[in-house]
Amino acid sequence: MRVAMGLTCNKAIYFYSMSGNTKALVEKCDTTDYDLYNMALIKPEDLSFGEYETLFIGTSTVGRGVPHTYFREIYGKLISLENRNIGLFGSGNSIYDVYCGALDVLEELLSSKNNVILKFKFESYPTKNVLHQFQEILRGDK
Ligand SMILES: Cc1cc2nc3c(=O)[nH]c(=O)nc-3n(C[C@H](O)[C@H](O)[C@H](O)COP(=O)(O)O)c2cc1C
């Protein structure tokens, strides 16, 4: 894990996790090549997406298939993003009508001006297999 300063790294992972499932995915993978931002610890007005070429943005889904209210508060920053490679990831629960719908909402918001490279949805707490898949994505193997 790298301290989030963004001085030398051109890749970053931003994540918002309610009960720790999405956070666990990030923390249990090797993220050495990334700057990490736990959005729950950053006031919306202080959040910056910097100049990273590649952004992974993670959030679980709440309400009826939408991201956390935090994302409403950073709406302006999200729609200002352009020319980035963006990977979306997050935990959900398939008992809900719109499984991991937050990622679809973010894709719709971001895809016109950016290259949304993937959406990685997973169920509840990350399994060994889920961790393996996400690790490969972070390594750029997939
Ligand atoms: C009020 C509430 C609403 C939820 N709505 C959805 C939903 O619409 N779709 C979904 O896939 N999961 C939904 N979930 C499930 C969470 O996204 C799921 O528990 C997830 O694993 C939480 O991840 P986190 O610990 O990273 O926040 C909801 C959970 C809560 C508490």
Strand order in the sheet with 35-38: 35-38, 11-16, 54-59, 85-92, 115-123
Give me the torsion for CA of 120, 125, 130, 131, rounded to 10°: 110
Nearest CA to ligand 1 atom 6: 62
Count of structural domains within the chain: 1
Give the C-alpha distances (Å, rounded to integers) separating 40 from 8, 17, 50, 62, 118.
24, 7, 17, 15, 23
- Domain coverage including residue 46: 11-139
Kindly state whether residue 4 falls inside one of the protein's structural domains. no
Kindly state whether residue 81 falls inside one of the protein's structural domains. yes
| DSSP conformation class of 46 | G
CATH of the domain at 63: 3.40.50.360
Nearest CA to ligand 1 atom 28: 62
- Ligand 1 contact via 70 beta carbon (within 6 Å): no
Cα separation of 84 and 114, whole Å? Answer: 5
Of 69, 91, 93, 100, which is best to mutate to test ligand 1, by the most ligand atoms within 8 angstroms of its C-beta?
Answer: 93
Give 41-75 pLDDT, tens digit per residue.
999 999 999 999 999 999 999 988 899 999 999 99
140/98: higher pLDDT: 98
Kindly state whether residue 1 falls inside one of the protein's structural domains. no
Instruction: Report whether 30 contacts 140 (CB < 8 A).
Output: no
- Ligand 1 contact via 59 beta carbon (within 6 Å): no
From ligand 1's centre to the CA of 7, what distance in Å? 34
pTM of the model: 0.94
